[in-house]
Chain A
Amino acid sequence: MFVDIDTVKRVAKLARLAVDDAKAEKMQGELNAIFGFIDQLNEVDVEGVEPMTSVVQMEMKKRVDEVTDGNKAEDVTANAPASEDNYFMVPKVIE
């Protein structure tokens, strides 16, 4: 697999990372080195092999559907870079 510059920029956009031309070029080289390494996996015959979903065989734990926690709006917003009255403050998103 070989990723081109446009792919690097498209993926950066998806990942919400600001990437200028110089950085995209640097990343392209690094990513291609890593993908070159990953491509070894194409040698493996995985026909009929189930993909792993959990390393430990166990049934998903369940609990009674009830409120066990809450009323911590202050704690939840305590670390926000900008908050007011226990709301997170962000730049305007609706025109």
Chain B
Amino acid sequence: MSELTSLTIAQAREKLLGKEITAVELTDAYLGAIDQANKSLNAYIKVTPEIAKKQAAASDEKIAKGEAGTLEGIPVGIKDLFGTRDVHTQACSHILDGFKPKYESTVTQNMWDDGAVMLGKLNMDEFAMGSSNETSYYGPVTNPWKIKGDNTSLVPGGSSGGSAAAVAAHLCAGATATDTGGSIRQPAAFTGTVGIKPTYGRCSRWGVVAFASSLDQAGPIARDVRDAAILLKSMASADAKDTTSVDLPVPDYEAAIGQSMKGKKIGIPKEYRIEGMPEDIEALWQQGIEWYKDAGAEIVDISLPHTKYALPAYYIVAPAEASSNLARYDGVKYGLRVTGDDITDMYEKTRSEGFGDEVQRRIMIGTYVLSSGYYDAYYLRAQRVRTLIKQDFENVFNQGVDAIFTPATPCSAFKIGDEEMAADPVRMFLNDIFTVTVNMAGLPGISVPAGLDRNGLPLGLQLIGKPFEEEMLFQASHVIEQAAGKFVPEKWW
């Protein structure tokens, strides 16, 4: 990691505007780092040096003219789920082979408008379905973190595994990611990075490959809380092209950082104290509670009684919406086509060859729960449970709780090709046990690194906020960051 790539976005911004460094230098440093590291980490599935160099040169001109945007000259990586004009966009699926959209997603357009530089597209679980980045057509991503004294390759989490690994290994200053059940927060926790899933509707979904439309939300993965605030400010917008994008002004999230937590109420939900949770996570959570007490916050015990039903309800709602969204991949409009005897045979062969096992499984669940005679028993019941989950949160917030504080994941990073995980899909689902409630209720959630476990692997803690009160999450997570410090993996790649 060179000196340039070790700069946070806030630090790079200062040096760029102070003309101590140029955007071209900074971009070249990152391109060099990617070139050197990507064989080992597989975080990028497409590097775009020509675009990056052009954008960086343009940024330097803008800075010289005093017209710098809020992300001017900052090199970022983009999850492969975001549509990027004329650039590889495949949701890391075989079925989108060769797809280069003729449009740009609103989130990435916002970032280019603010001066960001695109380094390339980042690896992810296929169609964002997975918690380990192992379902990618382009192979798994290796976590830059390793167990102390053990050379085994670990997963970076998923689905935004490429984003998290690239940020942790300093292969970009920050990255875009998406979160349907925990896909920003779980990989952030596994890599010692900060990830925020904003409130549903805060970032436009326009131009982002759809997984489960009522749950999908874009957000950043960054090295620290301030960088996450800077990135979200640029990514978020009210967008006429997405009817679920909310017409609210985007606040200055950075301004919330450093505000006092005195008198703020932090809720500790008893349902998140699950059996079999590693002691280290339990202890770290308790440590976090002490940090909040020291910061003058009031700690209150709360109950979210329907927590345990969030994950099973999610595995109805998300596959149902996915089976519908993924019906469009049929070998006609884009991507892969496998020829068959007739058109139906072509559809079936294309989809069977083009989708990986996990995606096919979820399409099957979704098709089944939406099929005639089962809709009420599954989908409608799950949507009712979802109402109850949301009411749990509303009740707590109505009691004056400002933010809810929980672990981000029930474990630290596990090894690539973990046999127990591979043998039982439900075990893999349990990775999202602490994050998925937030998607079901549409709330904002942030994962912030809080310490290392006994193996030397990072652990994250999560804060959950009221709708559109991301500022409270930045304010509150900064307390953890101040107390815990930052965590950078030792370079081995």
Chain A interfacial positions (CB closer than 8 Å to B): 3, 7-8, 11-12, 14-19, 27, 30-31, 33-41, 43-44, 46, 49-56, 58, 60-61, 63, 72, 75-76, 78-82, 88, 90-93
Contact = CB atoms under 8 A, between A and B. Distances in A.
Given A15-B364, A46-B384, A30 B342 contact: no
Interface stretch (B4-12, B108-116, B152-160, B374-382): B374-382
A62 to B, nearest CB: 9
B385 A17 contact: no
Interface string B339-375: 1101111111101100100001101110110010000
B482 interface: no
B291 interface: no
Given A34-B426, A80-B332, 11 more contacts: A11-B371, A15-B323, A15-B363, A17-B351, A18-B345, A18-B348, A27-B360, A41-B316, A41-B381, A52-B386, A76-B102
A88 B332 contact: yes
Contacts of A51: 380, 383-384, 386-387
A76 B334 CA distance: 9
Contact of A63 (B240, B348, B367, B381): B240
Given A27-B364, A31-B364, A91-B346, A55 B214 contact: yes
A55 B442 contact: yes
B240 A90 contact: no
A38 B367 CA distance: 15
Contacts of B315: 34, 37-38
B275 interface: no
Interface stretch (B55-63, B142-150, B304-312, B410-418): B304-312
B390 A55 contact: yes
A81 B438 CA distance: 39
B399 interface: no
B424 A56 contact: no
Contacts of B103: 75
B336 A49 contact: no
A27 B390 contact: no
15 contacts: A7-B368, A31-B364, A34-B315, A37-B426, A41-B316, A46-B385, A49-B385, A50-B384, A50-B387, A55-B441, A61-B247, A79-B334, A88-B332, A93-B342, A93-B343
Secondary structure at the A interface, as helix, strand, loop or mixed, is loop
A79 B332 contact: no
Nearest to A58: B246
Contacts of B349: 18
B331 interface: yes
B240 A61 contact: yes
Secondary structure at the B interface, as helix, strand, loop or mixed, is helix
A11 B368 contact: yes
A79 B309 contact: no
Contacts of B247: 61
Given A33-B424, A51-B384, A51-B387, A90 B343 contact: yes
Give the 5 A-B residue pairs with the shortest CB-CB distance, closest first. A55-B442, A51-B383, A81-B337, A79-B334, A75-B102
A65 to B, nearest CB: 14
Contacts of B340: 91
Q: Which of B247, B336, B371, B390 has the most CB of A within 10 A?
A: B371
B342 A44 contact: no
B243 interface: yes
Contacts of A72: 102
B331 A81 contact: yes
B335 A79 contact: yes
Contacts of A3: 368
B313 interface: yes
Contacts of A17: 348, 351-352, 355, 360, 363-364
A82 B467 CA distance: 45
A58 B343 contact: no
A27 B332 contact: no
Contacts of B199: 56
B339 to A, nearest CB: 8
Q: Which of A3, A37, A52, A53 has the most CB of B within 10 A?
A: A52
A58 B100 CA distance: 34
